[in-house]
Amino acid sequence: ETGVTQTPRHLVMGMTNKKSLKCEQHLGHNAMYWYKQSAKKPLELMFVYNFKEQTENNSVPSRFSPECPNSSHLFLHLHTLQPEDSALYLCASSQGTGYEQYFGPGTRLTVT
């Protein structure tokens, strides 16, 4: 595997389900990010992790819970989501938090 990978690529879940999104970067980077991309809106930064420590939570509702066990892996745990949470969730990584970010292919999430 190369670059940034995300699984699953597509996810449909009910509002009472609990699911997790996984991201793995193979670039040797130190920082990882979660973004939300909704139709007709700019990419919204959700969380930033630098050396496994969360450095940014962009006022994200608690039904989204990130986890970063090491610099290569990032998870987004989802529970009791709302239909408006349906979007493309993108993971990215960078060498440091001030440098260019490289994105994974995203997980298309649909909440029913």
Partner 1 sequence: GQQLNQSPQSMFIQEGEDVSMNCTSSSIFNTWLWYKQDPGEGPVLLIALYKAGELTSNGRLTAQFGITRKDSFLNISASIPSDVGIYFCAGHAGGTSYGKLTFGQGTILTVHP
User: By the criterion CB under 8 A, which residues form the site for partner 1?
Assistant: 4, 6, 31, 33, 40-43, 45, 48, 50, 55-56, 58, 90, 92, 94, 97-106, 108
Q: Which of 98, 101, 111 is nearest to 21 (CA)?
A: 111
| C-alpha to C-alpha distance for 104 and 55, rounded to whole angstroms | 20
Residue placing its CB nearer to partner 1 in the complex, 94 or 111: 94
Residue placing its CB nearer to partner 1 in the complex, 79 or 103: 103
Residues 6+ apart with CB under 8 A from 61: none
Residue placing its CB nearer to partner 1 in the complex, 17 or 95: 95
